[in-house]
Structure 1
Amino acid sequence: MSHPIFADLEMEQLRPDTFDSKLEQHANELVGVFFWGHDCPNCEVAKKMIHQDSSDVKSLGLKWFHVNTYEDFDLATRFGLHGIPTFIFFYQGKRLGKISPFPGMTPFMTALRELRAKYPG
């Protein structure tokens, strides 16, 4: 069952065969990729908190995608994830950084605002 956060932020699921092409299609946008997994308690906390403040997150204008690391473990390996949830950010094909573990909404929004200020797109 899909979580409302995916609809809130219009998050398309990326798979190994679509990951690079989708990032390339959105190279001129600030992109956030949410790496998560089913039955991950910390992922559920992040989803719930972001869903509650989804209008604030959406107002920053990032392009969002998600990856279920349990379905696509090779993407988790590719990015050297040591835990989920993890958020990795990209701009013009370059990896900018990550947020992991989910720090709560205030630090999460602060980091997103700082990214947006650096990459106003």
Structure 2
Amino acid sequence: METAVPDFFDRFAMQRVHSGELDAVLADGSAALDLLFLWGRDCPNCDIAKRAMLARPERLNWPRVRWLHCNVYDDEAMATRFGLHGIPTFFVFARGRRLGRITSWPGTEAFGTAIDGILARAPV
């Protein structure tokens, strides 16, 4: 088993991306913000984040946000690109430009509040 939450991506909609396609996906402009969730199989901290996200998905879904994800154990180029020292890590992008990084899982409310703040400043 790769995760203690095997049905996570069936229940919480995220688009899988690979390092070779990330720039094109981010540049397509289909969302005001892109949230990139970098995770790994057999990662207890990633599973904690996944469980918390499933417990309150309504708090973490915004109409103008697109969720992306990548298992960095299967795509080491993605981990290298962002200089990861631990997972889970979340990156926030607006129209292809990196706005921020959230390392580790801060909790559902703190994460939601941070994204709410970024969205409030993002152009429509």
- TM-score normalised by length of structure 2: 0.87
Q: Does 1:11 align with 2:3?
A: no
CA contact (8 A) 2:31 2:64 kept: no
Provide the alpha-carbon RMSD of the alignment. 1.9
Alignment of 1:27-106 (within 5 A): 29-59=32-62, 61-106=64-109
Per the alignment, do residues 31 and 60 of structure 1 end up closer, same or farther by CA in structure 2, a change over 3 Å counting?
same
By how many angstroms is 1:109 displaced? 1.3
SS in structure 2 of the partner of residue 16 of structure 1: coil
Task: State the one-letter code of the partner of 2:101.
Answer: K
Q: Where do 5+ consecutive residues of structure 2 fail to align?
A: none
User: Which segment is superposed worse, 3-12 or 34-43?
Assistant: 3-12
Between the aligned partners of 2:61 and 2:69, the Cα distance in structure 1 is 15
Sequence identity percentage: 37
User: Which segment is superposed worse, 59-68 or 20-29?
Assistant: 20-29
- TM-score normalised by length of structure 1: 0.89
Between the aligned partners of 1:23 and 1:106, the Cα distance in structure 2 is 25
- How many residues are aligned here? 121
Q: Where do 5+ consecutive residues of structure 1 fail to align?
A: none
Q: Deviations over 1:75-111 (max 9, x none)?
A: 1110111110000010022100011111111211111
Between the aligned partners of 1:81 and 1:52, the Cα distance in structure 2 is 26
